[in-house]
Amino acid sequence: MSQITIILGAQWGDEGKGKLVDILSEKFDIITRSAGGANAGHSVYIGDQKHVFHLIPSGILNNKTVCVIGNGCVIHIETLLEEINNLKSKNIKTENRIFISDRAHILFDYHKVIDGKQEEMKGKLSVGTTKRGIGPCYEDKISRRGIRFCDLMEWEIFEEKIRNNVKILSQMYGDLEFDLEKELNKYKEYSKTLKEMIIDTTFYLNASIQEGKTLLLEGANAIMLDVDHGTYPYVTSSNPSIGGIYTGLGIAPQKNTEVIGIVKAYTTRVGAGPFPTEQENEIGEHLRQVGGEYGSTTGRPRRCGWLDAVMLKYSMAVNHYDIINLTKIDCLTGLKTLKIAVSYYRKGEKLNSWPASLQVLKECEVEYLELPGWDIDISACRNFEELPVNCKNYILKIEELMQCRIKYIGVGVRRDQIIIK
């Protein structure tokens, strides 16, 4: 086993990263989150009980692990405390198991208000954000007016910064629906509650690596939502690709590292933006219903379509996966014919790479490879050889197209519904 394992979304998110994190977590000492905020939702099923995590790494369900929220994250404290209290109500120990980077940025309620106002201003050009305030919080960070958790530990500095920010942002956006004096009292209490959790996680993680401890680095969102490498501007405001893992934790790439890409057996995305293989028909509806494709953060129905090998090759180029976890292949059961996008054409010419221009992407025609489906229930299969021939062929074709080994195959939502190939 590698000392460090990185789990990354290989599509537009919602691939099922949380399940593999939960399965592998017992082998690791430390589990981390490095980017994003409560816009990400990781769902884990223990038996029939569903656990949804927005900020805390989903590996918290293993009582032996320590969970770290890195400097690249933006954290809404009230949401974090709700998650902690929810875990405590289920008798899951959290004391001395959750640490927050003192360099991470605080997401305030006014960021959510600004998020909504910005979406309204954009009108038809709205990107369909979760309205959780993620973008405006990162905007403050890049504009160098962000407020970090280290500031929360220095009350006079914190108070000065938040008063100044509310003044500036009110001039820009009008009413922020933010009672400053009431919020100051609330954050005074938060500073006491979180005092023991806020540490220099960069020092902690690097020291842990030197000590030989094992780390599972849990990615949020996915490569195609990356602000640099995704379908910009229909992306998140951070870097959920491989680079964001390192900058969001303050660690350097290590030799003994394994990168696992999580690939859903079909494609989904939430919100606006290009989606070349989208199926706005009975196929898309079948996938949505059978796959339960509704956002764990927003509850919005996800757009559904065929697997896209053009996208996956691009994803592979950026993140360089060592192995793949193919998820939700059981949701394809019952479809007579399956399709995989293998090429894009624009004005009769084949594209050699994933286009940066959304206009080019919009004008592309998709070339599909067709494969026969299967109608046998595979949810009880625990060995690759038990799968129907057509299912095995579908998996092997994805391996061939991605030039990467598929090691884990998800055949259901539960922890035990997985094949190790």
The backbone region for 50, taken as left when phi is positive above 0, alpha when psi lies in -120 to 50, beta otherwise, is: beta
Active-site choice (22, 42, 102, 111) = 42
**Pairwise CA distance, residues 76 & 83, whole Å:** 11
Active-site choice (14, 115, 140, 151) = 14
Nearest alpha-carbon partner for 65 in 111, 113, 98, 105: 98
Nearest alpha-carbon partner for 20 in 2, 35, 5: 5
14 noted as active-site residue: yes
**Pairwise CA distance, residues 409 & 331, whole Å:** 12
Residue 218 β-bridge partners: 7, 33
105 noted as active-site residue: no
- Kindly list the catalytic residues: 14, 42
